[in-house]
Amino acid sequence: MEIIDGRQFLFCRVDRGEDLLKSIIKAIEDTKLSTGVVVSGVGSLLKARIHMVSSNDFPPKDDFLDFEGPLEIVSLQGIIADGQPHLHISIVNRDFKSFSGHLEEGCLILSICEVAIAKVDDPKVIRTVFPGTKVGKLIRLSP
């Protein structure tokens, strides 16, 4: 992995065999990024693991799905609040079937993945949890 840390953007190149989510978390930690927006992520995967909601309950139940590659990353986006990423990914397989959901550990890079993160100085946001659930909500951090 290589991190290119600019004034307004952070670029992260994730290499073959590396875990995409773990690499993004490491880039966030290494650069001490608190608030940001993942605006782009492109590349390919050996395999993928995502989760998606499987009920209308609140909090919703989650289904975890695993896919074998080769897979192409169509999009990757999300929000970083208080240094913690909440990311969604869309992937497509060789049969042109697409799948989308919450990015999980276990997405291993096939050739390369390039991620662009916009740094946000203001407002600073954090994610708190709805009482009695694991569902997070963004709130502005007081100045």
Alpha carbon of residue 91 to chain centroid: 13
- Residue 133 sits in a domain whose CATH number is 3.30.1330.80
Contact criterion met (CB below 8 Å) for 91 and 72: yes
Domain that holds residue 132: 2-140
What pLDDT is recorded for position 133? 76
Q: What is the pTM of this model?
A: 0.92
The CA distance from 105 to 39, in Å, is: 20
What pLDDT is recorded for position 110? 99
Domain count, the chain: 1
Split at pLDDT 50, 70, 90, the class of 143 is low
The CA distance from 50 to 27, in Å, is: 20
Give pLDDT tens digits for 56-94.
988 889 999 999 999 999 999 999 999 999 999 999 999
What pLDDT is recorded for position 27? 98
pLDDT surpassing 80 at residue 99: yes
Q: How far is CA 8 from CA 36, 63, 81, 113, 120, in A?
A: 10, 36, 16, 20, 8
